[in-house]
Structure 1
Amino acid sequence: MTISSQKAFDSILSMSQNMLRLAADRAKSSVTPDMIGKELNKLAIMMEEDFALVDRDALVDELIRRSSRTVGENATLSSSEDHVAWLAAERKKGWTYWQRYSEYMEARIPWTAQDALDVATDEVLSQLEDPTREGAWDRRGLVVGHVQSGKTGNYTGLICKAADAGYKIIIVLAGLHNNLRAQTQIRLDEGFLGFATIADADELPAVGVGLIDKDTSVRPNAATNRSDKGDFNTAVAAKMNISPEQRPWLFVVKKNKTVLERLLHWIRNRVANHVDPETGRKLVTNLPLLVIDDESDHGSVDTGEDVVDEFGNPDLEHEPKTINRLIRSILHHFSRKAYVGYTATPFANIFIHDRGATQEHGPDLFPAAFITNLAAPSNYVGPGRVFGSASSTPDDLPLVRALSDEEFQPWMPSKTTTSPEIKPHKNGHRPRWQGEARVPDSLAEAIRSFVYACAVRKLRGQGGKHSSMLIHVTRFTSVQSEVVNQVAEYLRDLKGRYTRGIELANLEASMRKEYEATFLPGMRVIRAALVEGETLEDFPWSDICAVLPDVLSDIRVREINGSAKDALDYEEYKETGLKVIAIGGDKLARGLTLEGLCTSYFLRTARMYDTLMQMGRWFGYRDGYLDVCRLYTSQEMVEWFGHIADAAEELRQEFDNMVAAGATPKQFGLRVKSHSVLTVTSRAKMRNARAMELTYSGDLLQTIVFPNRKDYITANFQAIDRFISALGPTNDLNHQLFVPEGQKWSGHLWREVPALGVISFLRDYRTHSASFRIMSPLIADFIEEMNKDRELTSWTVALIGKDSGPDEKPRTVGGHSINMIQRRRATEHADRYSIKSLISPRDQAIDLTEAEWKAALELSQNTWRNDTDRNEGKEPPSEPRGPQIRRVLGEGVAEAGIPARRERGLLLLYLLDPVGAEVPELADADPVAAWAISFPSSASERRVSNSKYIANSVLWGGLNDWVD
C-alpha cells in the first residue's frame, strides 16, 4: 500500500468508525455488515478521490473486525487521604493534547478500545492531584496491565491529559537500555510532542499528532531526542530554562545513574525556586511534576536491607540503592508531584515497604494512593489464553510447540537438563548440533515456520507490514554471535536454493509436506479457538512456493545486544515492512517491542515470575495473523508459564475481592505463590517480604501432579478406599441443599464429616515431591490448627464421577461405584503424571444453600471484568465462581441474612482413568486417586510453618483488619 493510499485508507477508516458509532447508538444495536455498507456508501460520495485509492473490501473487513472487539472493565483500589476530587467534564473542555491524540488513535484502534482508553486515562488522572491545587501534595500509584497489551498507549494518553490539565514537567523513565528509551521517545514524539526529535536538525518535521494539529505554538518542549544517544545530558541542560508560563516539558530518560544524576543536578540548580527553611532542601514549588515509570518493577525497586526496624518504623537514615534513591530524590525536590508506575508484573512492587522513607530521599515508591488493574481487550492474547491457569484449561493449540530436552540441549545446554553428562553452557560456549556448527533441527523448523508466516502475510496483502522472529536462547553475547552466524547460514542456504533452483527438489518436497500436514492445519485450529471477527484466508502450497524467493530475500538477521551494532530499524522500513529475525538476550527480554512478532524460539530459563513474564514478547495483539504465530519453547517453560498465569490470576482475583470490599492499597495484603523452582521475583526485591507461616484460608487446592509408579498409585487408591469405607451411609450427589435447574450430578455425598477423618486421610495420602503447593501433611496440620478456633470442624465430602454414557468406566471404591473421569497428561515427565486442572468449575458450589449460591453468583458477576486473558467468557457468569464462593462461606452476607460457615470445609474426591492419562507406565495401574479442597476465607491468625507463600509488608504488618 502506497503512502497516499494508506492515508486515504486511514482517513476513511477514522470517519467511518465515528459514523458507525453514531449509527449504532441511534439503532440501539451492534454494528452490522449492512450498517457498514450504508455508511461507506455515504462516504464514497463525500470522499470520491480517497475511495479511488483504496480496496473497499479491505475497509469492510477492517470495520467488521473492529466492531467485534470488546474491552473489559478496569478496577481501582484507591485512598482518599490528602486527595481532593477534581476531574469533571467541565475541567476537560478545550484540552488540545488529548483531543489530537484521540483523533490520531481513531485510525489505529477500534472505537471500543478508544473509548476504553479515554475511561482508563480519566480513571488514573482522577487519582492524581489537580496540578493547579496550591500547597504541597504527593500522589503515588501503580497501573497494572498485561504483557505487551498497550501500556505505552495508555500512558501516552495519560501524559496528554496531564499536560492539558496543567502538569508542567513530565519525566518518563523508559527502561535500562538506549534502544528501549529511543523507542519510547519515538512513540511519544508521535503521540504527544507532534514532531520528530531529530538530533541537531534545523527543523523538526511534524509527525503523528503534529500532522493533525499543525499549530506549532502548542508544541510541548522536548529535553531529549529519538537518537540512541538522545538521553538527557549537560549540553542540553545548559540551554534549558524553565518557567511556569511555558508549555510542558517532556523528558524521556533511562533508569541510569549518570543520566538521573544529571537530571537531579539540573533540577536543584536550574529549576528549584525555593529552599525549605527547616531542612535546607531546594524545592520546586511552581511547577507540578508527573513521573511515569515504565516497567516500574525493574530497576526502580530499592533492594537495600532493613528499610524499617523490628517495630515497623522507617529507618530515616537508610541508604536506598542507586536508581531508587535518584528517582525518589527527584520527586522529593518538588512540592507538588505525582508518580505513576506501569508494569505487567507487579510482584516486586507489592514488596516495597509501605512505610519506607528517609529524610533525604522522601517516601519509597509504594503505590499508596492507588492501584489500577487494566482489563485486556478481546483480541489480546496473553499467558492466560495460551497456557491457561487453575481456573481455566486452554485448548491444546499448535500455537505452542513444546520442545523436549533432546531437541535443543546438546546445542544449548541449560541448567534444567536431566542428563548428568550435559553441563550448562557458559560464556564462550560454541553451540554444535550433531558435531557441526549449525542450528538444531527444532530451530530450523522454527525458521521455516517464520518463512511460512511471512509468505501467508504477503499473500494476504500484509507484505508491507513488519514481521519479526525472536530467538532468545542465551544471555551471553559471545554465544549470541555464534547463533547469529548459524541462523544466517541456514537462511542463506534456503534463499540460495529457492532463488537459484539448485538442489531444490528434496527441500521443496519436505517443506510442502510440513506446510500441508502441520502448519496449515495448525492455522485452522488456532482460528477456530482464538480468532473472532476476522476472515483469514488459507493458501495452497503452490501460492506459498511462488512467493518464497521474494520472502527469503527480504528477511534480515539482526543481533540485538549491548555489543552489537545492529538495530531494529522498523522506522526505516515503514513503507515496505521489515522482515527480521532478532537474536539477543536482555535487550529483547523486557520492554522492547518486536513489531509483527510471528515466531519465537525461546529457551532462556530464568526462574523468576516477573522476569519470565516480561520475556514473553510473544504476547499481545496479532490481528490478521494470529493463526501463523508459533512459540517454540521447552516443556519445562510451558509448565512454568502455566504456574505464572495461575499466580497472576490469583493476584487479580484477590484484587477484585478487595475492590468489592472498598479496601485501599495500604490494606492490600497480598500473598504471592512461590514455586519449588521459580521464585516470585529477585531475592533482593523481596527484602521486605517475610516468609510467613502458611494459611490456606480462602484457597482452592487440587492435586494435579501424581507419581507414575504403580505402587504409589495403588497406595493412594487404598487410602481413598479406606477413607470412603469409614464415612458410612451416603447420599446421592444430586441430593444437595440446592441443585440449580438443569444440573445433574453423578456421585456420592456425605455431610457433617468430622475433621479428624479428613486429617487422617490427608496424612495417609502421599503427594508427589514436585507438587510445590499440595503437601498433604502440611494441609492436615493447617486443618488441626483451624480446629482450635472451631473452624473447619465439619466437612462436606463428595465423590464425583463422570456422567453416564457410552464411554463410562465404573470402578468401586469404599463400597461405592463411580465412573472414572478422563484427564490427559499436560506435559511429559520421566517421574510423574501432570495435568492442567482437576475439578470442573461447578464443583466448588456443591452443597451450598440457595441463598449462598445466589449471593456467590451476585458477587461473581460484580467482580467480572470481561477480561479476555482471564478466560472469563464474554458474558457475566451464570454460575458462582470459586473465589467468591469461598468468600461468601467465610464472611457471610449480613444484609442478606447469610451467616458465615467457616466450620465447613469441602473435600472433593475423584478417580482418574489411568488409560486416559496416556502415561505408558500407568496403563494397567489402579485408578489414580485425586482430590481437591475448597477452604472458606477466614480472618483467623492460625498458621502452619514451612510457608509456601511470601507476604508483603502490609500483610505481616497487621494492617489487614479490613477483613473484619
Structure 2
Amino acid sequence: MTSTENDKALLEVHRSALEGMPAGKPMPLSTIVAFHADVHGITVDSSEAAFRDAVTRDTEESLALLKLWRRHLTHWDRATDTSAGSWCSGSESRTEGRRSAVFDRLGLEAATRKLLDDAIPVTTETGPVVISQEYTPWRGIGTPRGVDWYWPAYERYLREVKGWPDETVADVSDAAERVVERLADPTSVEAYQSKGLVVGYVQSGKTANFTGVIAKAVDAGYRLVIVLGGTLNLLRGQTQRRLDMELVGRENILRGTVETESDYADDRDWLRDRFIKHSGLPSELGAFDIERLTTRENDYKSLAQGIRALEIEKREKSLPLHDPRNLDHAAARLMVVKKNKTVLAKLVKDLKKISGLLGEIPTLIIDDESDEASVNTVNPRRNGNAERTAINEKLSELLSLLPRAQYVGYTATPFANVFIDPSDTADIFPKDFLISLSRPKGYMGVQDFHDLDPLLVPEDERTFANSNELAYVRSIDASEEEDDDLSLRRAIDMFVLTAAIKIFRETEDPLVPPETYRHHTMLVHESRLTADHRELKGRILKLWDESGYTSAAGHARLRELFESDLLPVSRERADGYAVPESFEKLAPYVGAATARIGGDLNPVIVVNGDKDIESGEADFERRSIWKILLGGQKLSRGFTVEGLTVSYYRRRAGNASTMMQMGRWFGFREGYRDLVRLWIGRNETAGSKELDLYEGFGAICRDEESFRAQLAQYSVLVDGRPQVTPAQVPPLVSQHLPWLKPTSPNKMYNARLVEVRSPGEWQEPTAYPTQPAALRHNVGLWTPILEQLPTAPTTFTYEFDDVARRHRVDALVGAVPADTVLSVLSSLKWHSGEQFAPHLAYLEEITKHSGQIDDWLVVAPQHTARRQQIVLGDSARPFSWFGVERRRDPLFGAISNPRHRAALLRIAGALPSCGDAATEQYVRERRGVIALYPIVEKRNADAITPDGRIDPGKVVMAFAFVAPSAARGRSNQVVRFTTIDSSRENEAIISQ
C-alpha cells in the first residue's frame, strides 16, 4: 500500500473512530481504530507512527486528517461537564491539564502528544461568563434527549459554507450550550419558566449565538420558537432571512413548491446555493420539519381556519405534547416578530384560541435587542398600579399564556435589563441566568479605538503601531466644519483612498478571498432628524462634485492624505495584506474607486426609513454597495452596515446604551482593519456642557469592561455553589461623565452594595464633600499622618520589561499601623458615603477580623520642582498640591497620575519586582499603600497666600489605596450584598 493510499485509509478510519466514540467521550484510540477498521473492512497501518507521518505530509489527506483532529480536540478541550462521574471531572476546560487528561484517555504516545500539541495548541481564552441559579442538569444525562438534526447541520454550515475555523464554531457551540442547559427540560412533567440574559458586544455575532441556541433547543424538543426581531421592519426581515438561510433550510422553505415560488427566488445567496440544505424534507429523513409562520417580507398575521397552523399535532393523542413520544415527531413552528404592539396583540389573540394546548408546548422566546422596547419603564413605586408599557405588557401576556415558555434576552447594552425589578414576576428580569459572551477574535470594538491603559502607552510615546487612537481616530474640528466642511471633505477623501486600496488588494493580493470587498461604505451620522439629512446630503453631494478626484489637484490632495495617514498606518497594521508602496502604485485604482462609488451620479444613500431597505437601495443582501450612507435612528441599532470603513460621527446621545448602539463602526473588518477610520466630534459645546463624544465612548468602554470583569469574579463557584444569583447582582454601572447616563432614567433602579473586596487593585474614591466644614474635618484627620512623614522624599521607579518603559514618582513615605489608618478612614466625611462604604467594609474586615494587614505605607507624591506647595498642620510644613477638577460635579474623575501607580502596586504585591532597590525596601506581604493627594480646585487656587497658606476648608484631601494582594478576607467570596428583606434572598437590592 502506498503512503497516499494509507493516508486515505487512515483518514476514513479515524473519522469513523472519532465520530463513533460513545457520547463523544475520548476512548483508547488504538482499540477503537482497530475496531472501526475491522467493521468497515479497511486495510490500514493504524499505528501512531503512521498517523504522525500522515499528518506531517503536505497532502490533501494530511490537511483533512489534521482538521478532523482539530475539531475533536477543540471539543474535548472545552467540555464543561465536570460533575462526578463525567470523563472530564478533575480537569478544567481550556487548560493544559484538560488536554493532558484527553491524551491519557486516548492512550497516546509521547511523540503523538507533542505533535498534536504543536499543530493544535490549547486555546486558553476564557469562555462565556455565567451567573446562574442552581439548576437541575438535563443535557447529556442518561439517554440523549431529542433528535440531533438542526445543530449538526448549522455546525456544518458555519464550517463548510461560511468558512469559520473550528475554534470559532466550538465557541458558538459552547456559548449556545451554556444557554440551553439552563432552560427547562422540555419533556419535564412539571412546567418551569426560565428567564435569562445573554450579553454580547455591539455587532459581534449575537445572532450566530441565538441561532445556535434555537438549533439546539428545537433538537431537544422545543416546538414553538418566537423571535422578537427588533422594532423595525428592516431588522425583523434581516433576522428572518438569516434564520431561513442558516437554520430552516431550502426544503423547509419550499415544502414541495417550485424554486421560482420561493420568497427568496431573487435572492443572490439563494441563487448561489448558499441556503442550508437537508438533502430532503427532514420529517422524511427521521427528523422533524420547521414550519415558518412568518417570511422575510411578511410579519406575523392573524391565522385563519381555527388557528391550525399553531395547533401542533400529537402522534399519541392521549399523551401531552411534551411527552417525548409526541415531541420527537412534531414539527417546530418558527416566527420572527417585530416588537410592535399591534403585531404582538394578533399573536396573543391567536394563542388564546388554542388555550387547551398552551400548557403543553415547550416554547422558546428569543428577544433580540432586549433592552429596547421590551423593558417596562413604568416605575410601580412612583405610579402605583399603573399599566405597563405597551410591548412589555404583551410580553407579559405571552409569558402568562405559555407556562413552558423560556425567555432569553440578547443585548450588547445590558444596563436597562439589570435595573429591572426582580420581584416583579411578570417582567423579564433574568432571574435564572446572565451570560456574558467572550469578545470574539477579529472583532473591532470600542477598545480598539482607544488607548485605555496609560501605563502602556503614555501620550508622549504614542505611535501608529502602539496607539489605537493615533491609528484609527480623527477629530472633527467643529469651528472648521461650520465654515467649509474640512473634516468631512477629508473623511470622504479617505473613503475614496480606502476604496482604491481594496481594489488594489482585489487585483494584487492573491490571499484575499473572493467577495471580501463586496461592500465598501462610509457612514455619516450627525442627527436623527430627516430635515437635517436632506441638508447634509446636499453638503456631501457638493463636496463630491467639487472633489476633482481625476484632476491634478484632487490627486495632490489624495497623495498628501495617503502619505501622511493611510500609508504609515497600513505599514504597521495591515496584518499581511498588500499595501501599495507609493501613491503612484495606488493612483491607477482611484478612477475605478470613484466609479464604483459615484458612477451612477449618486454616491449617497439616505437611510431614514424602512422604504430605503425595502426598495433594495440599501439592501446589502441583494446587491453590492459602495456608497456613503447617511442616516440617524434607522442606523442606530441592530442594522449592520456592511463593509463599513470610514465613519463620520457627531450625533449626541443622553445615555450610554443609546450611544453604544450608535457605534456602527464596531464589528468584524477582516481584510481592511488597517483602513478603518473614525472622524468623531471632540469638545463640542451644547449649552453649558462640553461634550467630547470620543471621551464618552472611552468612558462607556471602561464601565462595560468593569461590569464584565465583576461578572467574571462573581461567576467563580464557592464549594461548588454560585456565589451570587442574577437577582443578587446589583447594577454595578458607573457614570463617568455628567452628560452620559448608563441608560435612560426611566429604566434605572438603585442598588446597594455592602462590600467590595479589592486585594491588589488600585482604588480611587471620588465622592469628596464640597462643604468647607467637611473639608476641614478631613484635612484635620490626615494632617497628623502627613506630619509624621520624613521631610526628604524617596524616588520610586518601576520599569516594564515588555515595553522597556520606566515610571517614576518622588514621594514622602512612612509606615502607619493599620488600625490607625482605619480610624481615619472610618471618620471621613463624604459627599456620598455610599460610594466608599463598600470599600470601608472590606478594609474593616481585613484589619479587625481576618487580620490580613499589618500596616499601610502612606505615600505623599511631591512635584520635582518646588512649585504648587501649601502649608498644612501646626508644623507649617509645605506639601505638594494637585490641581484636579470635579469632572462629574460634584464627583471627581481620575485623581492620581498613572505614572505613580506601578511602584505602589508593586509594594502591595500586585506587580512583580523590577529590581528597584528603593521600591523593594518597602515591600511587605501584609502591607497596603495609600497615596495622598491634597487637591486645590481651580476656583480656590487664588486663595493660596505667597507663603503657601490656605484655608483647609478649600482643600480636598483625596487619596487612592491598594490593599495587600493577599488580603482576600475570610472566604473566596468577592462581594457581599444586603437586600430589602433578608428573608427573601432572591429579591433585588433596591434602596428605598
TM-score (norm 1): 0.67
1:285 counterpart = 2:313: no
Larger Rg: 2
Change (3 A) 1:454 1:745: closer
* Aligned residue number for residue 815 of structure 2: 751
For 1:788 and 1:189, locate their aligned partners in 2 and report how far apart those are by CA, in whole Å.
Answer: 58
Stretch deviating more after TM superposition (617-626 or 777-786): 777-786
Q: Is the 8 A contact 2:223 2:362 kept in 1?
A: yes
Change (3 A) 1:260 1:597: same
* Aligned residue number for residue 797 of structure 1: 857
1:183-217, Cα deviation, whole Å (9 max, x unpaired): 11111111111139699963466664533644464
Which one of the candidate residues 393, 398, 412 is aligned to 1:325?
393
Which one of the candidate residues 377, 389, 400 is aligned to 1:303?
377
1:350 CA displacement: 0.7
Change (3 A) 1:557 1:41: farther
- What SS does the corresponding residue of 2:422 show, helix, strand or coil? coil
1:522 counterpart = 2:572: no
Which one of the candidate residues 224, 233, 250 is aligned to 1:169?
224
* Aligned residue number for residue 871 of structure 1: none
1:153-201, Cα deviation, whole Å (9 max, x unpaired): 0000111111111110101111111111111111111111113969996
Q: Is the 8 A contact 2:415 2:733 kept in 1?
A: yes
Change (3 A) 1:732 1:469: same
Q: Is the 8 A contact 2:423 2:988 kept in 1?
A: no
Change (3 A) 1:550 1:117: same
* Aligned residue number for residue 204 of structure 2: 149
For 1:349 and 1:878, locate their aligned partners in 2 and report how far apart those are by CA, in whole Å.
Answer: 43
Change (3 A) 1:478 1:731: closer
Letter of the 1:91 counterpart: P
1:356 CA displacement: 0.5
* Aligned residue number for residue 688 of structure 2: none
Change (3 A) 1:780 1:835: closer
* Aligned residue number for residue 485 of structure 1: 538
Which one of the candidate residues 371, 376, 379 is aligned to 2:434?
371
Which one of the candidate residues 775, 789, 795 is aligned to 1:727?
789
* Aligned residue number for residue 117 of structure 1: 172
For 1:445 and 1:65, locate their aligned partners in 2 and report how far apart those are by CA, in whole Å.
Answer: 46
Q: Is the 8 A contact 1:703 1:931 kept in 2?
A: yes
For 1:935 and 1:224, locate their aligned partners in 2 and report how far apart those are by CA, in whole Å.
Answer: 57
Letter of the 2:532 counterpart: V
* Aligned residue number for residue 83 of structure 2: none
1:460 CA displacement: 1.4
- What SS does the corresponding residue of 2:715 show, helix, strand or coil? helix
For 1:339 and 1:719, locate their aligned partners in 2 and report how far apart those are by CA, in whole Å.
Answer: 53
- What SS does the corresponding residue of 2:713 show, helix, strand or coil? helix
Letter of the 1:644 counterpart: I
Q: Is the 8 A contact 1:392 1:837 kept in 2?
A: no
Query: Unmatched 5+ residue regions in structure 1?
Result: 1-14, 46-63, 275-283, 310-314, 358-362, 411-432, 435-439, 707-715, 737-741, 764-773, 803-807, 858-876, 880-888, 890-897, 913-925, 941-949
1:639 counterpart = 2:681: no
1:650-671, Cα deviation, whole Å (9 max, x unpaired): 2112212211252211222232
1:455 counterpart = 2:500: yes
1:590 counterpart = 2:603: no
1:658 counterpart = 2:714: yes
1:610 CA displacement: 0.9
For 1:632 and 1:65, locate their aligned partners in 2 and report how far apart those are by CA, in whole Å.
Answer: 42
1:847-884, Cα deviation, whole Å (9 max, x unpaired): 44xxxx5xx89xxxxxxxxxxxxxxxxxxx999xxxxx
1:468 CA displacement: 1.9
* Aligned residue number for residue 129 of structure 2: 75
Q: Is the 8 A contact 1:224 1:252 kept in 2?
A: yes
* Aligned residue number for residue 420 of structure 2: 352
Q: Is the 8 A contact 1:301 1:685 kept in 2?
A: yes
- What SS does the corresponding residue of 1:95 show, helix, strand or coil? coil
For 1:693 and 1:755, locate their aligned partners in 2 and report how far apart those are by CA, in whole Å.
Answer: 23
Change (3 A) 1:391 1:348: farther
Counterparts of 1:121-200 in structure 2, within 5 Å, are 121-195=176-250
TM-score (norm 2): 0.65
For 1:492 and 1:566, locate their aligned partners in 2 and report how far apart those are by CA, in whole Å.
Answer: 26
1:401 CA displacement: 2.8
Which one of the candidate residues 898, 909, 916 is aligned to 1:838?
898
Counterparts of 1:417-432 in structure 2, within 5 Å, are none
Q: Is the 8 A contact 1:101 1:209 kept in 2?
A: no
Q: Is the 8 A contact 2:861 2:933 kept in 1?
A: yes
* Aligned residue number for residue 100 of structure 1: 153
1:94 CA displacement: 4.9
1:481 CA displacement: 2.1
CA RMSD of aligned residues (A): 5.5
Which one of the candidate residues 618, 641, 650 is aligned to 1:603?
650
For 1:785 and 1:226, locate their aligned partners in 2 and report how far apart those are by CA, in whole Å.
Answer: 56
Which one of the candidate residues 467, 481, 484 is aligned to 1:396?
467
- What SS does the corresponding residue of 2:440 show, helix, strand or coil? coil
* Aligned residue number for residue 240 of structure 1: 309
Stretch deviating more after TM superposition (210-219 or 563-572): 563-572
Q: Is the 8 A contact 2:374 2:391 kept in 1?
A: yes
For 1:568 and 1:726, locate their aligned partners in 2 and report how far apart those are by CA, in whole Å.
Answer: 76
For 1:160 and 1:559, locate their aligned partners in 2 and report how far apart those are by CA, in whole Å.
Answer: 36
- What SS does the corresponding residue of 2:138 show, helix, strand or coil? coil
For 2:767 and 2:557, locate their aligned partners in 1 and report how far apart those are by CA, in whole Å.
Answer: 38
Q: Is the 8 A contact 1:798 1:907 kept in 2?
A: yes
For 2:957 and 2:500, locate their aligned partners in 1 and report how far apart those are by CA, in whole Å.
Answer: 49
1:202 counterpart = 2:261: yes
* Aligned residue number for residue 277 of structure 2: 211
- What SS does the corresponding residue of 2:815 show, helix, strand or coil? strand
- What SS does the corresponding residue of 2:225 show, helix, strand or coil? strand
For 1:381 and 1:956, locate their aligned partners in 2 and report how far apart those are by CA, in whole Å.
Answer: 45
Stretch deviating more after TM superposition (244-253 or 506-515): 244-253
Change (3 A) 1:810 1:213: farther
Stretch deviating more after TM superposition (441-450 or 160-169): 441-450
Letter of the 2:217 counterpart: A
For 1:646 and 1:953, locate their aligned partners in 2 and report how far apart those are by CA, in whole Å.
Answer: 29
1:584 CA displacement: 0.9
Change (3 A) 1:843 1:236: farther
1:488 CA displacement: 3.1
* Aligned residue number for residue 273 of structure 1: 356
Change (3 A) 1:451 1:104: same
Which one of the candidate residues 717, 736, 739 is aligned to 1:677?
739
Query: Unmatched 5+ residue regions in structure 2?
Result: 1-11, 20-25, 30-46, 66-117, 265-269, 315-329, 458-465, 507-511, 598-602, 683-691, 769-777, 799-803, 915-923, 936-947, 949-955, 971-976
Q: Is the 8 A contact 1:749 1:796 kept in 2?
A: no
Change (3 A) 1:878 1:630: farther
Q: Is the 8 A contact 2:613 2:619 kept in 1?
A: no
Change (3 A) 1:568 1:609: farther
Letter of the 2:405 counterpart: K
* Aligned residue number for residue 39 of structure 2: none
Change (3 A) 1:933 1:957: farther
Letter of the 1:188 counterpart: L
Q: Is the 8 A contact 1:98 1:157 kept in 2?
A: yes
- What SS does the corresponding residue of 1:672 show, helix, strand or coil? coil
* Aligned residue number for residue 579 of structure 2: 537
Greater RCO (Cα-Cα under 8 Å, separation 6 or more): 1
Q: Is the 8 A contact 1:96 1:164 kept in 2?
A: yes
Q: Is the 8 A contact 1:297 1:349 kept in 2?
A: yes
- What SS does the corresponding residue of 1:286 show, helix, strand or coil? coil
Q: Is the 8 A contact 1:140 1:338 kept in 2?
A: yes
1:658-711, Cα deviation, whole Å (9 max, x unpaired): 11252211222232212422111111112x436x699887584449999xxxxx
1:138 CA displacement: 0.6
Change (3 A) 1:761 1:483: farther
For 2:631 and 2:980, locate their aligned partners in 1 and report how far apart those are by CA, in whole Å.
Answer: 36
1:67-124, Cα deviation, whole Å (9 max, x unpaired): 999853211111136x453344952685111111101101432211111111111111
Percentage identity across aligned positions? 26
1:638 CA displacement: 1.3
